[in-house]
Amino acid sequence: MKTIISLENVTKDYGQGDIKVQALRGVSLTLGEGEFTAMAGPSGSGKSTLLNIIGALDRPTSGKVVVDEKYLGGMSHSALSRLRRDRIGFVFQNYNLIPVLTALENAEYVLMLRGVPAAERRDRVRAILKEVGLEGKEKRFPRELSGGQQQRVAIARAIVTEPLLILADEPTANVDSKTGAALMDLMMEMNENKGVTFLFSTHDPSVMKRSRRLVFLADGKITYDGPYKDELLAVAE
């Protein structure tokens, strides 16, 4: 199995001088191609910080981060931008859709940045929007869509580029349980049929239960890495 993510003794500090917060404290983690993994832990445990570092949105204070066999510490800002654009899909808790763009325009945005011809990207996006259950809603703006529909647009935007890795920060946090289950079904199908590697940050027990691997963080450290266990729920809030 090809290694997609490799972290070695990663730390992240915020603040200066005597006023510092250690968000991550010596995190080491390896994820292989095609894994479907959830990161859980109480608020402030470092989940979102870790996702941002893996996604090249932030840099660690120390330690080594390798994504797709590329050492992120040795890459320029422009090279990191290309890695994010070409190899990583993001699904954010608050969707991060552009309000003045339609569902189709939001979903095709990264393809446009890549320079994919208009006709080709429109065909690809329409096919993906149909796949995620949004056929007929291509021209709607985010304000005209429900929370679940907006999250589906975000997922479409992430997968239409056929990325190596999708990072999802609390993907079911702002939707009801039925919609959350449907979104998980969709992402599991993408994982199984397209081989996309998924890494989630979540508080949602249903996401934890359906993940094949659970990584639990507390106080910036990994305290558990293995299959889901019910007893972890008591400390995951």
pLDDT, position 235: 63
First-to-last alpha carbon distance for the chain, in angstroms, is 33
**How many CB atoms sit inside 10 A of residue 216's CB?**
23
At 166 the three-state DSSP class reads strand
Buried b / exposed e across 72-85, counting CB within 10 Å, b at 16+?
beebeeeebeebbe
pLDDT tens for residues 74-133?
899 999 999 998 899 998 878 889 999 999 999 999 999 889 999 999 999 999 898 888
Q: What DSSP element (H or E) covers 151? A: helix 147-159
pLDDT, position 231: 75
Buried b / exposed e across 176-185, counting CB within 10 Å, b at 16+?
eeebbebbbe
At 200 the three-state DSSP class reads strand
Torsion angle (degrees, nearest 10) of CA 2, 152, 104, 51 = -50
Backbone angles phi, psi at 3, to 5 degrees: -80, 125
At 65 the three-state DSSP class reads strand
Q: Which residues of the chain have pLDDT under 70?
A: 234-237
Backbone angles phi, psi at 139, to 5 degrees: -95, 5
Estimate to the nearest angstrom the gap between the alpha carbon of 19 and the chain centroid: 30
**How many CB atoms sit inside 10 A of residue 68's CB?**
18
Q: What DSSP element (H or E) covers 105? A: helix 103-114
Q: Is the pTM of this model over 0.85?
A: yes
At 208 the three-state DSSP class reads helix
Q: Are 67 and 4 in contact (CB under 8 A)?
A: yes
Query: How far apart, in whole angstroms, are the C-alpha atoms of residue 95 and residue 139?
Result: 17
Ordered by where they begin, the domains of the chain are: 3-235 (3.40.50.300)
pLDDT, position 176: 80
Q: Are 158 and 127 in contact (CB under 8 A)?
A: no
